[in-house]
């Protein structure tokens, strides 16, 4: 096992190295205002047997969980996804899709309703220039409570207080990544906690493996695509004092000064329109070509109709540019309870208005499926639609080796779609909860008791009436042509 714990500070909060107390097996300091990233790498033999047997069937597995509570991000950890649980999965080369994956996800994360990769996952386009996982799954998940319980039982075998405390702390994390691929033969778990004041008191124990602790803050960098970090690094148990450091690296993900918010126009009905309010129409940098994108991860109850995004007049009227990607196929008619695929992801290019800097809006038309009928809700069901990710994607011109960035993050869904020579500038969302809840009209079971009986009665009544009319015809004129009668009638005239 290897552990890397990094505290990221605002420059004005930078730690005084004298306050960092390093002993032969610990590091501590009181009241440090910092965001925190913890990265733990497990070797295969350190994993529970059941996890190991699932991983054996995968070529790549990337799990991303993002909290729906928004606390702000800190460079260089600015990349994000739609809140919820994302799974990016590539089956092992010579093996069929894993039938162990979904049961395992359920066991580890709790309420996950995936059936199997074939039934519930959607495929992602393969892109040679930026390899990404082959399939995708998503599910809204508010809390990692089940994950923490699983970790307590399976990872902290010896019920060490240190281990239990650290795992419990994940409840406050704003994102958790779990990465595995066959080339590294190791499982990495990375968790991120937003900026807050905390006492550091980290001990190296027998089971904790190599423990590296950094306290860093962002420094001005020379190149626009680079980030510089300065501060102190300590390998606990090896170093006797923190060693000062200053290093730069190219970064895929950068913060943007703009912000956005997302809300549904009211009334939302069965065809809700999501409105994005964006604080600026100006790209983050003038010397690269940049486009503004919105990346949606939509649960199956709500979807975008790709055929709606073809007409340029329609797109322009909503400040949209082009539909860059949408999961296919999307059933445009089925009710939610007959769909087993998780939902759809959509990458939409927006069209910021030209001219002077201004705040502006874009509207994205969406559609709802029929949801299950309900009782005791007056025919309304709440539906949570998570925030999209909004970002500027700028052309990096040349191949930049982003992987030397110790905080590099890939397999986010949109990065594979936009190519590896792209620099992302993330707009930070406004608001505390990154989810909109809309009310969806459904059949009210309290009023539907007699629907079947009345339908049967009405059809029977209508059928009998027509049959009665036919019977009268038969009695009076028979089933023949009745020509005889006409001739007779004419004679009389």
Q: Which residues of this chain interact with another protein, rule CB under 8 A?
A: 267-271, 307, 310-311, 313-314, 316-318, 329-335, 337-338, 370, 372-373, 378-380, 438-444, 447-448, 451-452, 454-456, 458-459, 461-463, 465-470, 472-474, 476-477, 479-483, 485-486, 489-490
Least distance from C-beta 350 to another protein, angstroms? Answer: 16
Least distance from C-beta 478 to another protein, angstroms? Answer: 9
Helix, strand, coil percentages (3-state) for the chain, rounded to 5, are 25, 40, 40
Alpha-carbon distance of 473 to 479, in angstroms, equals 8
| Residue nearer to another protein on the CB measure, 62 or 369 | 369
| Residue nearer to another protein on the CB measure, 110 or 441 | 441
| Residue nearer to another protein on the CB measure, 307 or 356 | 307
User: DSSP readout, 59-84?
Assistant: EEEEEEEE-SB----BTTB-----SE
| Residue nearer to another protein on the CB measure, 16 or 333 | 333
| Residue nearer to another protein on the CB measure, 111 or 462 | 462
Q: Quickly tell me which residue has 């996804």 as its tokens.
A: 81
Least distance from C-beta 321 to another protein, angstroms? Answer: 14
Least distance from C-beta 329 to another protein, angstroms? Answer: 6
| Residue nearer to another protein on the CB measure, 220 or 480 | 480
Alpha-carbon distance of 384 to 369, in angstroms, equals 13
| Residue nearer to another protein on the CB measure, 269 or 431 | 269
| Residue nearer to another protein on the CB measure, 185 or 456 | 456
| Residue nearer to another protein on the CB measure, 247 or 370 | 370
Q: For residues 50, 56, 62 and 64, what is the CA-based torsion angle, rounded to 10 degrees?
A: -10
| Beta carbons of 383 and 371 less than 8 angstroms apart | yes
Looking at the DSSP bridge assignments, the partners of residue 193 are 36
* Three-state SS at 316: helix
My answer on whether omega of the bond before 192 falls inside 30° of 0, hence cis, is no
Sheet holding 320-326, edge to edge: 320-326, 343-350, 290-299, 389-395, 422-429, 253-264, 273-278, 360-365
Least distance from C-beta 349 to another protein, angstroms? Answer: 17
What would the 3-class secondary structure string for 432-492 be? CECEEEEEEECCEHHHCCCHHHHHHHHHHHHHHHHHHHHHHHHHHHCCCCCHHHHHHHHHH
Burial tier of 266 (Cβ tally within 10 Å: 0-12, 13-18, 19+): exposed
Least distance from C-beta 119 to another protein, angstroms? Answer: 18
Nearest to 56, CA basis, from 71, 65, 45, 66: 45
Least distance from C-beta 485 to another protein, angstroms? Answer: 6
Least distance from C-beta 475 to another protein, angstroms? Answer: 10
Least distance from C-beta 308 to another protein, angstroms? Answer: 9
145-154 and 101-109 helices, crossing angle to 10° = 100
Alpha-carbon distance of 12 to 18, in angstroms, equals 17
| Residue nearer to another protein on the CB measure, 368 or 427 | 368
| Residue nearer to another protein on the CB measure, 111 or 486 | 486
Interior CA angle at 2 toward 46 and 255, to 5°?
120
Structural tokens at position 348: 């939409």
Least distance from C-beta 276 to another protein, angstroms? Answer: 18
| Residue nearer to another protein on the CB measure, 220 or 267 | 267
Q: Quickly tell me which residue has 């080369």 as its tokens.
A: 93
Structural tokens at position 330: 């999307």
Least distance from C-beta 116 to another protein, angstroms? Answer: 21
Residue 300 CA to its chain's centroid (Å): 13
Least distance from C-beta 106 to another protein, angstroms? Answer: 24
Burial tier of 297 (Cβ tally within 10 Å: 0-12, 13-18, 19+): buried
| Beta carbons of 58 and 98 less than 8 angstroms apart | yes
Residue 236 vs residues 99, 202, 211, 229: alpha-carbon distances, Å: 41, 9, 6, 20
């Amino acid at each position: 096992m290897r552990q890397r714990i990094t505290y990221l500070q605002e420059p004005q909060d930078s730690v005084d190295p004298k306050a960092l107390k390093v002993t032969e097996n610990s590091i501590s300091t009181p009241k440090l205002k910092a965001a925190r990233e913890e990265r733990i790498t497990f070797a295969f033999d350190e994993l529970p047997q059941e996890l190991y047997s699932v991983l054996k069937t995968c070529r790549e597995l990337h799990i991303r969980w993002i909290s729906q509570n928004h606390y702000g991000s800190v460079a260089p950890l600015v990349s994000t996804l739609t809140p919820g649980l994302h799974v990016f999965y590539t089956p092992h080369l010579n093996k069929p899709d894993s039938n162990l994956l979904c049961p395992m996800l359920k066991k580890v994360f709790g309420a996950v309703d995936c059936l199997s990769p074939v039934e519930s996952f959607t495929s992602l386009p393969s892109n040679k220039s930026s390899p990404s996982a082959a399939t995708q799954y998503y599910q809204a998940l508010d809390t990692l409570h089940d994950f923490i319980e699983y970790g307590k039982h399976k990872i902290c075998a010896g019920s060490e207080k240190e281990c239990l405390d650290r795992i419990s702390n994940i409840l406050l994390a704003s994102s958790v990544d779990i990465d595995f691929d066959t080339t590294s033969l190791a499982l990495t778990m990375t968790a991120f906690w937003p900026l807050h004041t905390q006492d550091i008191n980290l001990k190296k124990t027998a089971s904790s493996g190599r423990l590296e602790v950094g306290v860093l803050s962002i420094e001005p960098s020379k190149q626009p695509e680079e980030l510089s970090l300065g501060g102190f690094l300590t390998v606990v148990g090896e170093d006797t004092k923190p060693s000062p450091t200053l290093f730069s690296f190219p970064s895929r993900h950068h913060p943007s000064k703009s912000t956005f918010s997302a809300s549904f126009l009211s009334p939302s009905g069965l065809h809700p329109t999501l409105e994005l309010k964006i604080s600026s129409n100006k790209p983050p940098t003038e010397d690269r070509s940049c486009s503004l994108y919105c990346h949606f991860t939509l649960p199956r109850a709500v979807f975008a109709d790709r055929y709606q995004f073809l007409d340029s007049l329609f797109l322009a009227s909503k400040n949209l540019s082009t539909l860059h990607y949408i999961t296919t196929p999307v059933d445009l008619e089925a009710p939610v309870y007959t769909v087993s695929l998780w939902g759809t992801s959509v990458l939409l290019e927006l069209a910021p208005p030209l001219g002077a800097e201004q705040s502006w809006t874009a509207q994205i038309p969406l559609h709802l499926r029929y949801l299950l009928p309900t009782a005791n809700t007056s025919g309304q069901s709440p539906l949570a639609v998570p925030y999209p990710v909004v970002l500027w994607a700028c052309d990096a011109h040349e191949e930049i080796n982003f992987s030397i960035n110790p905080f590099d993050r890939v397999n986010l869904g949109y990065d594979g779609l936009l190519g590896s020579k792209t620099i992302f500038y993330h707009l930070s969302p406004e608001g505390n909860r990154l989810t909109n809840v809309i009310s969806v009209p459904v059949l009210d079971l309290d009023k539907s008791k007699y629907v079947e009986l009345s339908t049967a009665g009405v059809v029977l009544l209508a059928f009998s009436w027509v049959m009665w009319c036919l019977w009268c015809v038969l009695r009076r004129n028979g089933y023949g042509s009745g020509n005889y009668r006409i001739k007779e009638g004419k004679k009389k005239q």
